[in-house]
Structure 1
Amino acid sequence: MTGSGNTRNMAPLVAAWKQAFHLATNGSGSYGKGLNLHRNGAVAQIHAQPGRLAAAVTAKKATHQAVLLLPELTDNQWDTLADRLAGNPQAVADLLAHRVPAAIADPGHAGGVAIVPDAEEITFSCSCPTGHAGRACDHSAALGHAVTDRLAVTASILLGARGMSARSLAALVRDLMADTDPGTLPADADGTVRADQLYSLAAHRPPHSPPDIDLDPIVPVTTTLHDPPIPGPRAQDLAWMTQDAANRARALLTAIPDPPHDDLADTVRILASPHGIDRLPTAADATGLTETTLRAMMIGYRHGGPAGAHATLAAATIPPSTLEQAAEALRASRAVTLGIIDIADGAITDSTAGVQIRPGLDGRWHPFTLWRADEWRPAPGACDDPAEAFRAARRARAARPLSR
């Protein structure tokens, strides 16, 4: 099926059909009357079947079944057409994108096969008395005019009446081109090509072995970019996004487990990037969190990635028995000399020392230090061992006295 973007390309096909149909009516007055019926919306949906185009046509409060009879093309004719289209990259791209190629409108480009039948090959039939006699009537003429308009946007109906669907024709061409390169897609008159057609050709081409190159020493193209016009992202933003995409791709290729990364963590990731703080007010409005909370989550992201950001907002839910075992490990640790270890809100806290560890979504323990009254700030040193995470919290506490 063709889209509206191919209407111009189908003009030769439409013109050829209009001429053949006009000649087939042999000067009958029904040609003009049928045009008026069509313009008044008398023709219902057109049905294409091998050898015929049919539709219900309503005139003078009566509905008649009008039919245009066309000869089907032979198998040899279809093979000839497919062979000629296989040598036309534009036609191949159209077919692979499930569009009827404009080349079929011109027998010279279609291996001498005319999709539009000659005038003497078009015959008429209708449920009205005139149509029963095999002559062109007002209703079949209206159908012919409707076909003219329909061909401009849906050329596949004529293919169907001639005995083959556009999909079947595409399959014929695809078989002829097995393991061959369809060539370069030519540009339109305005110098452009359709993205879906380019993709169709690329998907059909035989796979090539990737070049053996070392990507690490290559200078990223983003380093030479200039800032695009507002509101486009800055060149530096593009560089950061490119680097982030490269890091994620490298992690996938090296089978590194992906940490919990949802929309909120991704927002914090952007805020934690250079100059990301400029977006803090917008992020606060979007997430419903305060700027203070988001700032703390940015610190957590820098120390522990997405899981660190989530742990800053709230401790991950783990079984109470796991919390108790971790607390016991801390009590037995030499690092705990003073204070009382408490378990509250899913975290393990030593209020006297001003340190705390929280379980994260990544299965690690994330250290925190008391910043102000009931305000905890993330610290570096997240790890699987709760005792080691606790020691990291104490080191951070010693390096940063309690804020007043």
Structure 2
Amino acid sequence: MTPAPTSGWHHRQRVFPPLPATRSRSFAETWWGNAWVQALEGPTRSATGRLARGRTYARAGNVGQITITPGHATAQVKGSQPTPYRTSMNIPPLTPQAWNTLLDTAAGQAGHLAALLNREMPTTLADTAAQAGIHLLPRPRELTPSCSCPDWGTPCKHAAALYYQMARILDEDPFVLLLLRGRGERELMDELHRRNATPPTTPAPTAPPGIPARGVFAAARAGLPPLPAPPPPVDHPGPVPELASTTAPAPGLDPAALHFLATDTAQRAAALLHQALQPHDAHAQHPAALSAEDDLVRLAAADPPHEIFTRLCWSGHHTPAALTRAARAWTYGGPDALKILDTPWEPGPTRLHAARQDVTRNWPGEKPPALRIGTTNWITVTGHDAQLRLSTGGHLWYPYRRRHGIWWPSGFPHHDVATVLNDLLETDNT
């Protein structure tokens, strides 16, 4: 966890790195974390609807870095699309009068004061505050979500995931609750020390004079040559020249096809240049060379003109429907998605049994769907035109939907089988 800053505005901002996925049946582990979940779900302690889907997302590790300031928490949450959604949660801070009441009440009880000054949050503080008319834990109507996803529900599953992830943050540091209510830990400690202050018996030691960092830095750079200017950014490929001529093209030369290939080459070159300008990563995996068939599907996925798409069908001996289906798979996963489009493989019974257990354990609804599992990497949902397919690497699940008796790729993959299945059936019901 990020340690608490000690001075300036930054003591009112905390940043927590992404938390890993968890398989624990109890989402929170401490009193404060469980109290947050109970306040979120109500006295029945049951997560239904969007809250349940958010709990699944949080448990799967879909919530990224969380930034917390007074009255506000924000994070990026991975959904079914490749780009995470920016999600936030607002909670009303306490008024200055409420803070004075809370601090006076805490300072008036020796046990509370000693625990807080020792950076411990006594569990009885919530009840003590409630007796003074102050609610530390949020009531459901106090939480106001915001998300960049197209779901108009309140909260959407991405905001609900942030709600639940806050419980795990409170497991690590319950003082975050006080920051959400408006006071950073440093200013809180200062106020408590002031209420418990006694005259100092010895003068405070003075810090020795320091050396300005600017002078040290300037001296170190004095003998160094200036850094070269960085290369210009690569945001998009440049324009491709039009092949305009008053004479007929040479036999066998198709200007439209040549323009399409030149545009595709410029886009690929721009992507390679952008990758080359990124910080070097010794562990980065470079894409493997494409076969002629894979490259044909890649070109078909680039939305070529109708005449060029027809020529791609003819040269690859594909029907238009078959090439459209292959291009759809390429759009969702490239060569890996194309490998499982029509060729099943056997991952072994242990992997398939684990997938069934994951669905049963993490399903957000009351009863998980019935699954038909054989020996291949295909899992079909009984009673629905829905299917999941495991990638050849054994890490990603691709959603499929049956149309007119043919299974079509229907979305981007996810490593959590319950998440991708829930999204597939949710879109099936809309």
| TM-score after normalising by structure 1 | 0.39
Give 1 or 2 for the bigger CA radius of gyration.
1
Structure that is richer in helix per residue: 1
TM-score (norm 2): 0.36
Higher RCO structure, 1 or 2 (CA under 8 Å, sep 6+)? 2
